[in-house]
Each structure stands twice: as C-alpha cells, then as structure tokens.
Amino acid sequence: MTDATPKTLNGRGAVSNPANRFGDVERPYDPALAPDERPRLDTVVAPMASKSILSFNTSPDLGFDRTINPYKGCEHGCVYCYARPNHAFLGLSPGLDFESRLFFKPGAAALLEKQLRKPAYTPATVVIGGDTDPYQPIERTHQVTRDVLKVLQRFRHPLAIVTKSSLVARDLDLLADMARDGLAKVAVSVTTLDPKLARDMEPRASTPAKRLGAIRTLADAGVPAGVLAAPMIPGLNDHELEAILEAAADAGATEAGYVVLRLPHELKDLFAEWLDAKRPDTAKKVMNRVRGMRGGRAYDSAWGRRGKGARGDADARPARFRSARRRFGLDGPRIELTNSLFRRPSDPAAPSLFDALEEPRPR
C-alpha cells in the first residue's frame, strides 16, 4: 500500500466522507491523515419526527408495495449499500456519515397503529428493512423494530423481514406466533462465507456464521426463512453464489434470491475508493466487470436491469442461480402470506360501552 492509497477507518466501511450530490457535507474527513491525527468518529443517534411510517412504492422491480424502515442510516457500514445516497436528502454524506450519523423513529409503533386503523386501509405484506437494516446494532437499545412487530402481531398483519443481523432471533416469540398463522417470514442476507471479506465489506454486521445460525434458529422455530445472496459483485464474491445457497439450505432455508451490485449516485465513487483501499490488486478488474455487465456504465437505473444487470457476467448468473436453487431444494413454491386474518383490535384508549355504563351519574 503506497502513501497515496486511501486508508480505511477501523470498524467502518466507507473510506471517506465526501460531499453529497447536492454539494452539502457537515464534516469532511481526510482518509490520508495519520491514524493519530484523525478525528474520533463516534456513532451519533438522534430521533427523527415522522408523519407516517408506511412507505408505498409502485416499482415493477419489487414484489411488494409497502415497507417500514425504523431507521435512517445504518451502523453495519456495508460499503456497497444502495441506501447510502439517501443520506444526501438529510444534508449528510453517503460516506462515513451514513454509518455514524443515525436516526430512529421513536413514534413508529403509534404511527403504524394509526395508519392500520384507517377504514380505507387494505392489508398486504409489509417488508421491514427494504432500505436500511431493521436489526442494526442500535435496535438493541431503541427497539423500534420490536415495537412495530408488536403492533403487526396485534393486528394480525402479514410481514416479511430482510436483515443481515442475527439479532432477528431475539424476536422469535413474536415471529413464531405469527408464522403459525402464515403471517411472517424472514430473508437473511448472506453476501459471502468468507469472514475476512465480510468484515471488510460489512464491518459491523453479523458474521456469515451467525447469519446462517439465525436461519437455523428461525427455521427450527417454524418461521419460514430464506436467503438473499446480495449483492453479487463480479470478481469479488459472485463465485460464491452456489456455496451461499448450499450453506443456507443446510441451515434450513426454503427460499432464495440474489441481486447484483447497484452503484447509484455517490455510491460508485465510494465503492471504487473502498476497492482501492481494501482490494488494490483486483480493484481495476472488479470495476471493469461491474461496467461490463451494464454496457460500460457503473450503474443502470432502468427497471428490470438495476438489480440483475444486462450484459457480460450477468448473462450466466441467472442460469447458475436457477441450477443451484434446484440442486439445493430451494425451488419449491414461494411462501405466500395471508391477508385474511387482518383485524382492528379494540382501541384501549377509547371508552367502551361498559365503561360508559359504570360512570357515576351526575346529581
């Protein structure tokens, strides 16, 4: 590594804290500084006021139309995370700010209950974690995700969780109860089986072994568990696709999916910078192959191609995935959750008829 090579910060994914695409950044960070000259980078967590907690989409690339994201930013620090550019809308950097300047939604459970009680609301599976991870480390303290699950359990509302954290097993009491009625399933993201690569790419996420352990724990408790091999990065981890599916199937997974690397907005430069710092010998090859599967561009935002690619490496990957899915028994019927049990439980804050009858009469 030369003096010109960017230096990484221990426990963080991004190498730097560049200005976002709107030209704003609160605290620049110079990766060339010597370790003893670098400013301390603590995780700062703040509440975020929200008017609603359910987000709706009409994307043809997604198999669901609503999500809940209890947190903004993610301490897992995954360098490839497609949600990083969203921090620009907060006036922050998609770099180190994304993984150290975090926001939680303290009123999420109450907002959700309010939305579910609206007479016009129609239930459908809600995905928790479509943006940032609902079980990132700060969930241990704030428990916003668990509070949201309690509301969904009371309303018997179907839910699907996407996470790369073994902390999901903490909520087995809620998930197992809902799974018995066909109301819950979990997809665990496994990017690599190599603990060193995982630590470099996803510094504060659960290890690959712990993620596989979470799949096993969920499956043993009757919660349908799937594996999401994502993102597949040509020249870096995509050769592990079959091995990831096999390990997940051995742990009890019944479904599988994959997504290729997406590099929207600032993310392409952040990822290239990380490659130069962590994989200098293969950085150029990896970026060439990333561009090769998208017609020479680092990213293609077109529907249908964002998560699959269009050329080069992408041509063989779908066939590899289908073959591995069949081989490891992950090609059964997709588990569909039910909407038929949805109910609006009585509002504990509203007086009942019996309460009214028991009130003392005015004299």
Integer-rounded Cα Rg, in Å, for the chain is 22
Predicted confidence at residue 344, as pLDDT, reads 96
> Is residue 11 included in any domain, yes or no?
no
Tokens of residue 133, six digits: 């991870």
- Mind listing the pLDDT tens digit for each residue in 26-36? 565 665 666 56
> Is residue 29 included in any domain, yes or no?
no
> Is residue 5 included in any domain, yes or no?
no
Which residue in this structure is represented by tokens 């630590």?
199
> Is residue 52 included in any domain, yes or no?
yes
State the pTM of this model. 0.89
**Inter-CA distances, 336 with 150, 158, 182, 217, 340, Å:** 21, 10, 8, 21, 12
Domain count, the chain: 1
What domain range is 148 assigned to? 35-358
Predicted confidence at residue 27, as pLDDT, reads 62
> Is residue 49 included in any domain, yes or no?
yes
> Is residue 3 included in any domain, yes or no?
no
Tokens of residue 120, six digits: 């016009």
The phi, psi pair for 104, rounded to 5°, reads -120, 160
> Is residue 22 included in any domain, yes or no?
no
CA 277 to chain centre: 24
> Is residue 225 included in any domain, yes or no?
yes
> Which residue from 101, 110, 112, 103 is spatially nearest to 55, judged by alpha carbons?
112
- Mind listing the pLDDT tens digit for each residue in 316-339? 889 999 999 999 999 999 999 999
Give pLDDT tens digits along the chain (363 positions).
444 555 678 899 999 999 999 987 656 566 566 656 666 788 999 999 988 999 887 766 667 789 999 999 999 999 999 999 999 999 999 999 999 999 999 999 999 999 999 999 999 999 999 889 999 999 999 999 999 999 999 999 999 999 999 999 999 999 999 999 999 999 999 999 999 999 999 999 999 999 999 999 999 999 999 999 999 999 999 999 999 999 999 999 999 999 999 999 999 999 999 999 999 999 999 999 999 887 777 666 665 555 455 555 556 889 999 999 999 999 999 999 999 999 999 876 554 444 444 444 444
CATH number of 235's domain: 3.80.30.30
- CA triplet 327, 329, 331: central angle to 5 degrees? 100
